[in-house]
Amino acid sequence: MAGLSAFGFNLPVGAGFPTFDVGGADFTDPSAVLLSDPAGWGRDGRLENPVQNDEIKAARFTLRRDFMEGPFSGVDIGYNYTERDKKKTSTVFFANLLNGRTPVAVAAGDLFNPTDLDFVGIPGVLAFDPRAGLDKYYTLTQNLSSDDLRKDFTVSERIHTAYSKFDIDTSLSNSVALRGNIGVQVVFTDQSSRAFNIDSRSGTAVGDLNRGAKYTDVLPSLNLVFDFGDNWFTRFGAAKTLARPRIDDLRAAASAGVNSTTRQWSGNGGNTDLRPWRADSLDLSIEKYLRTVTSLWPASTNG
């Protein structure tokens, strides 16, 4: 804002908003609030149009068979299929004011009613739609820096899971009952990504990467509950589990270069060969359930 040299700031210790003292400056005055580059970025604006498309398709097939005799009460056999495709693009433009980046006031016809910020000590600020006036006030140049190019990528996942599970419901003796299940999953994963390979020194794309990985996980599991009667139970569980990484961590985007001063290599990006977090879990507990108390209070009476 033209003519504003200093302002005060108050941060409350307790509840309440921080407040400003602008010394009587009028932030709603279109002749004083100008479009410019007050922070000295070397440009007057930046426009980014990010677009993300994340599509998931899934199918599941299950067969169930119940048994009347034997230690197993039933069996489930099934197949899951998950297909996920994520695409992200971020088109970035730098905006510079017309007439050699000369600061300019917003025309009266482009202004909205001022925005009230009285709750922080500012009576109001100028309001307008910056997108509506892009062609009127600015020239746009697409930016192709390495930071922006790394944001563009596609990632695809194809996950096939076949599984079987046997339910257990039997007696080990006259005083011990056993229930639970035992099963296994076989998970086949096909993951791939396409993105840019960036030269960090020049900030430009030097190649189109298209990479991926395929692998299989076998995940057994066992859950047992021993019922000893009189509300005494022992529970045992064992399983191999996995948790997949974030899908954007699988992007193929990569950047590498050498610092011209220190002569050190540096680089960053995603990893199309990234595997899930895998864990082996065991759980054992002995439990006693107390008799249920129906009420701790005497019955209510009327009168």
Give pLDDT, residue 300. 46
Q: What is the pLDDT of residues 93-129, one digit of tens each?
A: 999 999 999 999 999 899 999 999 988 888 899 999 9
CA distance 92 to 76: 52
Q: How large is the average pLDDT for residues 280-287?
A: 95
In a domain, residue 249? The reply is yes
Q: CA 78 to CA 166: how far, in whole Å? A: 12
Q: Is residue 299 one of the residues assigned to a domain?
A: no
pLDDT tens profile 284-297 = 999 988 865 344 44
Within-domain flag for 293:
no
d(CA 73, CA 66): 6
303 has pLDDT over 50: no
Cβ atoms of 135 and 95 within 8 Å: the answer is no
Query: Looking at the domain assignment, is residue 168 inside a domain?
Result: yes
What's the domain range around 259? 8-288
Q: Which of 131, 297, 284, 302 is nearest to 222 (CA)?
A: 284
Rounded CA-CA distance 154/249 in Å is: 11
Query: Is 220 part of any domain?
Result: yes
**Tally of structural domains, the chain:** 1
Question: For tokens 């992200």, what's the residue?
Answer: 88
Residue 213 lies in a domain: yes
Q: What is the pLDDT of residues 158-209, one digit of tens each?
A: 999 999 999 999 999 889 999 999 999 999 999 999 987 766 565 555 667 8
- Model pLDDT, residue 205: 59
Q: Which of 170, 146, 158 lies closest to 255 in space, CA to CA?
A: 146
Does the global pTM surpass 0.75? Answer: no
Q: What is the pLDDT of residue 25?
A: 84
**pLDDT, position 56:** 96
Higher pLDDT, 242 or 3: 242
Question: Average pLDDT for residues 41-65, to the nearest whole number?
Answer: 94
What is the per-residue pLDDT for 294? 43
pLDDT computed for residue 193 by the predictor: 94
The phi-psi region of residue 73 (left if phi > 0; otherwise alpha if psi is between -120 and 50; otherwise beta) is alpha
Q: Is residue 15 part of a domain?
A: yes
**Mean pLDDT score, 232-243:** 95
